[in-house]
Structure 1
Amino acid sequence: MMRAVSAAETAPTTYAWTVHAENLAVRAGRRLAVNGLDLALGTGVHGLLGPNGAGKTTLMRALATVVRPAGGRLDLLGENISGRADLRRVRRRLGYLPQHFGFYPRFTVREFVEYMAWLKEMPKADIPGAVQRAVDRVGLTDRADARMKTLSGGMVRRAGIAQAIVNDPELLLLDEPTVGLDPEQRLDFRELLRDIGSDSCVLVSTHLVEDVAVACTDVVLVHEGRLVWQGTTAQLAAQGGTGDAGDSAAERGYSALLRSHRERVAA
């Protein structure tokens, strides 16, 4: 006899934030690259900014469950990663593009994305259609059966984005995704981000402030492993003045916030 299933058992899992960190500490080697960071992110496209050595890549690696936190608390998709969470369950629901990623050069684009879909434990029957959609979305339809070793740097980067989105992730983490993309491809990529961010949480780490200003709903600024500022792109642009470095309002706002933070730390 079949057991009756309650409404509570079939209801979707809900959580306040897709990403929630409290006093988070993460090591890069022996150094605490993230130290005492508080962060809350929900649906939308969030830009992660900061100077070299600010801890951006280490933070992204922690959010991707590549490295475990050294202290504090980190919740991803309702799971406490700081504890004994089932990381496989979390990884099935996220997508990650690191700054540098490996691949078998003789794989075709399709085979590479299929392999990554398999690693994410996607249902076998869903993989062919999901791979084709991902390849189409990054503009590699005509190169789907080309070997990875024959692609330009920008095309390899787009293949990396395809593997990150193949499972329609609820949390998408992109570390320097526009490296090697030409201006037209960057415009297409911004449109893709806005589409994915309409119902998922996307975090984009980049040095290109203009990409953040155009494509993101809000900005997270980190320095020396700590959260310096978080706000909308309009609020970022309003922070700067004519005396601040930068060719745009967003860049001047970024410069002004960093300068202000460094002055407070030095005082």
Structure 2
Amino acid sequence: MTSLAWLHTLDHVTAANLSFAFMISTFISKSSSATTVGFSIFIIGFLTQLVTVGTFPYSSHFSKIYRVVWSLFPPNLLAKALGLLGNATATSEGKGISRRNRGECTTFEPNCVRTIVAHINILFMVHFDNLFCLLGPNGAGKTTLINCLTGITPVTGGDALIYGYSVRSSVGMSKIRRMIGVCPQFDILWDELSALEHLHLFASIKGLPPSRIKSVAEKSLADVKLIAAARVRSGSYSGGMKRRLSVAIALIGDPKLVFLDEPTTGMDPITRRRVWDIIEDAKRGRAIVLTTHSMEEADILSDRIAIMAKGKLRCIGTSIRLKSRFGTGYVANISFLGNTPGQTHNVYGITPVYNPHLELVKQFFKDRLHVEPKEENKTFFTFTIPHNREELLANFFAVLQDREKEFGILDTQLGLTTLEEVFLKIAQLAELESSSTEENLVTLNLSSGSSIQIPKGARFVGIPGTESSEHPRGLMVEVYWGQDDTGTLCISGHSPETDVPRNVRLTVNQARSRIGLYDVPVGFVIDSN
């Protein structure tokens, strides 16, 4: 039993008083007298409980007759029992069960749960007839934000206006609930009810006229392609069918604002395309807020995209704007003719015949744009062209097109970097910011065989103890960071060890070797500027 249980018990005592008072008052026919008697009994009961918290009459100083008479009022026994329970559970390490220390965790309660407050710093506007897509890694705060906007989680700071109504006002929230639809991450379905019965139920909750419910429900089922299974129990539905039904429930009643929290999770590609068509049609005449982990879905459906990380809104804009602003540049894919010797193996051996076209194209890109292939094969090249080379692209590709036959080029494609690359970059920057604040140390295994500990997220790191006559300022490496499956920042590699540049000013603390965990030296961070 915890302090929270003690609080619930007090509520039960108060409820018992009220019940007892109402029970007695029912035997009185006159309403005014019944109210007076009931209120008087409640007050007397409340006062007697306050006295019972002390020692009266349950102590050796008072006669047994007092205890018997006092116990005829049941809530007094409960109040005394709670006091005994508190004394019995008190130890040298804790105060036991009491109202004063409710919400506190003792040192010997490892499973004690405290209230966790989510801090979200968000500012954005959703336009009418638009779909606003909210992206972010797991734990970024997307679902928490939706819970705040729909009234599930109370807002402790800031405010949000939905069609002029504040989410912090109880009156405003009641107005908001009538004009929104929500499809949460999980399916709010009853296995015993069919799809048609679900829509009838939620249409009634939304306040639709009974004469319209049947036609609206059938149209909604037709939109999500569930007419054939309309009268089948939802417990036998597949995961994709349940998600489609949840989308239909969110859209029923013609809400002005719809929240779709990862609506296509668990769907096969064909069903996902159908739901995309449903969402695309549904955004006419309303505003939609969509969360997803599918970059393709966000790219196709959204009018504007926002990326969250660590509870903050990191960027917002159209897909093209985000790609041009946060992407690495342009991606050029060069495909070569299939009948060139470079794509086939020699019939007399396993070694492919040398194809001079590949080297010519590689040198052509290097001379004119100063870029190397990011990915290369015997059939194609992929180049990443930075934004600062944009002015050269028109003339460059005009020349490349004129020399296609000379280079043996089959096809040339030019496009912006993917939205996934932008997403990963934003998430990584947020992780770097968080890691630098927390000052976590991770182990970097160097190519020389030694190891050092470095601050998580550091880019340029000096290696302590490497000063010598050959390297008077010591050595340093550039650390490459990536993310694992959970989105946590991890080391993906590092550059070869090089001399610390002369323009880097070393302090005494940096030059000294500091020992970290497990007797591993700690590297010092070098400013990238």
> Structure 1 stretch 61-70 or stretch 213-222: which is displaced more?
61-70
Instruction: After TM superposition, give the deviation of residue 64 of structure 1 in Å.
Output: 1.9
Give the distance between the partners of 2:250 and 2:171, measured in 1 at CA: 22
Give the distance between the partners of 1:256 and 1:235, measured in 2 at CA: 15
The answer for the alignment partner of 1:31 in structure 2 is 116
Between the two structures, name the one with larger relative contact order (CA 8 Å, sep ≥ 6).
Answer: 1
User: Which segments of 5 or more consecutive residues in structure 1 lack a partner in the other structure?
Assistant: 1-28
Give the distance between the partners of 1:89 and 1:180, measured in 2 at CA: 33
Contact 2:188 2:246 in 1 (8 A): no
Instruction: After TM superposition, give the deviation of residue 53 of structure 1 in Å.
Output: 0.7
Give the distance between the partners of 1:138 and 1:199, measured in 2 at CA: 18
Contact 1:221 1:229 in 2 (8 A): yes
- Report SS of the residue matched to 1:72: coil
User: Which segments of 5 or more consecutive residues in structure 2 lack a partner in the other structure?
Assistant: 1-113, 332-373, 375-383, 385-416, 438-529
2:426 is the counterpart of 1:257: yes
Count of residues in Structure 1 that have an aligned counterpart in Structure 2:
236
Give the distance between the partners of 1:214 and 1:237, measured in 2 at CA: 14
Contact 1:98 1:174 in 2 (8 A): yes
The answer for the alignment partner of 1:223 in structure 2 is 309
The answer for the alignment partner of 1:25 in structure 2 is none
Give the distance between the partners of 1:31 and 1:211, measured in 2 at CA: 32
Instruction: After TM superposition, give the deviation of residue 263 of structure 1 in Å.
Output: 4.1
Give the distance between the partners of 1:139 and 1:234, measured in 2 at CA: 33
RMSD across aligned positions (CA):
2.0
Give the distance between the partners of 2:164 and 2:212, measured in 1 at CA: 25
The answer for the alignment partner of 1:13 in structure 2 is none
1:221-262 per-position Cα deviation (integer Å, ceiling 9, x unaligned):
111211111110112333222789xxx611011112223344
Q: 2:234 aligns with which of 143, 148, 151?
A: 148
Counterpart residue type for residue 240 of structure 1: G
1:197-233 per-position Cα deviation (integer Å, ceiling 9, x unaligned):
2321101111111110111111111112111111101
Counterpart residue type for residue 306 of structure 2: V
Counterpart residue type for residue 256 of structure 2: E
Instruction: After TM superposition, give the deviation of residue 264 of structure 1 in Å.
Output: 4.9
Contact 1:79 1:90 in 2 (8 A): yes
Give the distance between the partners of 1:63 and 1:252, measured in 2 at CA: 29
Q: Cα 1:40–1:30, aligned 2, differ >3 Å: closer, same or farther?
A: farther
- Report SS of the residue matched to 2:327: coil
The answer for the alignment partner of 1:240 in structure 2 is 327
The answer for the alignment partner of 2:184 in structure 1 is 98
Counterpart residue type for residue 211 of structure 1: E
- Report SS of the residue matched to 2:171: coil
Give the distance between the partners of 2:303 and 2:431, measured in 1 at CA: 25
Structure having the larger proportion of residues in strand: 1
The answer for the alignment partner of 2:252 in structure 1 is 166
- Report SS of the residue matched to 1:42: coil
The answer for the alignment partner of 1:49 in structure 2 is 135
Contact 1:108 1:144 in 2 (8 A): yes
Instruction: After TM superposition, give the deviation of residue 30 of structure 1 in Å.
Output: 2.8
1:157-208 per-position Cα deviation (integer Å, ceiling 9, x unaligned):
1111110001111100011100121111111211222212232110111111
Give the distance between the partners of 1:257 and 1:104, measured in 2 at CA: 39
The answer for the alignment partner of 2:243 in structure 1 is 157
2:166 is the counterpart of 1:68: no
Give the distance between the partners of 2:169 and 2:309, measured in 1 at CA: 26
Give the distance between the partners of 2:116 and 2:295, measured in 1 at CA: 27
Give the distance between the partners of 2:262 and 2:167, measured in 1 at CA: 24
Q: Which has the larger radius of gyration?
A: 2
Instruction: After TM superposition, give the deviation of residue 111 of structure 1 in Å.
Output: 0.1
Instruction: After TM superposition, give the deviation of residue 143 of structure 1 in Å.
Output: 0.9
Identical aligned pairs, as a percentage? 26
Contact 1:237 1:251 in 2 (8 A): no
Instruction: After TM superposition, give the deviation of residue 86 of structure 1 in Å.
Output: 4.0
Q: TM-score, normalised by structure 2?
A: 0.43
The answer for the alignment partner of 1:129 in structure 2 is 215
Give the distance between the partners of 2:137 and 2:293, measured in 1 at CA: 8
Equivalent positions of 1:174-189 (< 5 A) are 174-189=260-275
